[in-house]
Structure 1
């Protein structure tokens, strides 16, 4: 079995590199067939210059999708061979422009037959294949411009790991984790306040016994996130004490906790959820918006750090 068939899509880059290496070696032999002294890697630069326009290295790099240093190196190699020359621009004398030399022009004329034969050979080969490689490459390039492969893998990783997160009801054994998770994020951005100590040191008395609820996110049997519902005097509930361990971020835990606490509120007949936060916590604010919360002007907050209030009306 071929190694790349065995390893599959994980070796996509390596397989494309193998194909590229094969075609590059073939290209070297094709140049020799037509007695043209050209390195395959020079061709994109050569082709741009063969149109007859003087171009800067930056312009060439942008057109062929190479880096500036890469094009600079190719131009130096071609200049050493005598195929290109550098001169001050006609339109802008402050810039150096690259053009084909007389030797480069001779290659341009000589290579025309090679163009015809290579184009015909590729067309003939493609007629014998089930899939159009050229169109496939173009489609993949477009897809990766829209979203990189790295980003796609990050999303898959996040989705897979989020399925391994369990949202469970708070138990007394979670008291230390509930406090640690919240204290960790609060002290990262702000300072602990009196209201924090009440809720974190006495969750049973301050939250649970007053009709509230606490949920815990567990990953690999370890508490990695938490969120609470605190019953309010007006009959609504406050979404509070949402925290996710920094080591567990990127697993969609905030989203899972947010949805779970909203469902908990619905299950107990709550009609309104309220929360307080701070606008420097952009990921948290974005999460609340995604969950459906809207900014409101509410009563004065017991927290110095709170500068935004939001609510969600439950139907």
Structure 2
């Protein structure tokens, strides 16, 4: 076990497979010990059929296996004569699987094996500090709530987000501000007059009018931008606009970090509310805005043809 002491918990899958292999190898020998003509991998299907006939779909749902996996196991059991297959009388499109005469005989003879195996497992559980059975149940619940892939992805985003630095705009970032926005706009829509005004002259159109621009740097490279445009409006202080993140930097939480930083900037500038315009085709962006606290609003005239959703947020 020195290997697993070195790798730590990141090798949990390999270690569980090793444990499974040990148990499965013993299980095959246990079946031989009791003269039971079954393979360990058949057991979930066999046990389910002991309670009555079922279709492959029904069995798969009950034991949590895929349909192809159950279909393959049933095929093996059919060839060994443990189960039989027939058309459903009520629905000829469905095949019903049931225990054969041989399978029913196994179901009767296997009862002593069940008893002895269960007692052996119970004895092992009393000899351990941690109850493996309960731990497995807990892990199954946790993985149903959020699988390991998603958990690792979140840790990856968190680690990479620590390399992100949000800085104020300077003329050195003029090209990045323009190119990052042109990239995403041209991908989904077309550049419009209002886009050219802000991207060609961010100082005059945004900064000199009381707005702000923030730039996200990842390992020193500008990969994201976001602007606040001062609004002359009785209800909204600023417009959140021109948020763009480079495709090569997506998945690093940069959009969220920029959004939080720009809202903080709006509050620092004395703003009481922030407004934005977007398009519902940009599902990740819309999800981000909801996550930041924005809610749908409507009724404002827009200079953009692409705008089909308006959102606003009151700053606390």
**What do the CA deviations read for 1:266-292 (whole angstroms, capped 9, x no partner)?**
112222322222232232223223323
1:303 is matched with which residue?
Answer: 304
Taking the aligned partners of 1:17 and 1:294, their CA distance within structure 2 comes to 47
Q: For residues 1-315 of structure 1, what are the structure 2 equivalents within 5 Å?
A: 2-51=2-51, 53-234=52-233, 236-315=237-316
Q: How far 1:185 sits from its partner (Å)?
A: 1.0
From the superposition, tell whether residues 47 and 227 of structure 1 become closer, same or farther in structure 2 (CA, over 3 Å): same
Q: How far 1:30 sits from its partner (Å)?
A: 1.0
Structure 1: stretches of 5+ with no match in the other structure: none
Question: So what's the TM-score if we normalise by structure 2?
Answer: 0.93
Instruction: State the secondary structure of the residue aligned to 1:215.
Output: strand
Structure 2: stretches of 5+ with no match in the other structure: none
Q: How far 1:302 sits from its partner (Å)?
A: 2.1
Instruction: State the secondary structure of the residue aligned to 2:274.
Output: strand
From the superposition, tell whether residues 314 and 112 of structure 1 become closer, same or farther in structure 2 (CA, over 3 Å): closer
Taking the aligned partners of 1:44 and 1:291, their CA distance within structure 2 comes to 46
Shifted more, 90-99 versus 70-79: the winner is: 90-99
Taking the aligned partners of 1:237 and 1:124, their CA distance within structure 2 comes to 68
Instruction: State the secondary structure of the residue aligned to 1:130.
Output: coil
From the superposition, tell whether residues 89 and 192 of structure 1 become closer, same or farther in structure 2 (CA, over 3 Å): closer
Taking the aligned partners of 1:122 and 1:39, their CA distance within structure 2 comes to 19
Instruction: State the secondary structure of the residue aligned to 1:224.
Output: strand
Question: So what's the TM-score if we normalise by structure 1?
Answer: 0.93
Taking the aligned partners of 2:72 and 2:300, their CA distance within structure 1 comes to 66
Q: How far 1:91 sits from its partner (Å)?
A: 4.7
In the comparison of the two structures, how many residue pairs are matched?
314
From the superposition, tell whether residues 283 and 113 of structure 1 become closer, same or farther in structure 2 (CA, over 3 Å): same
From the superposition, tell whether residues 205 and 90 of structure 1 become closer, same or farther in structure 2 (CA, over 3 Å): closer
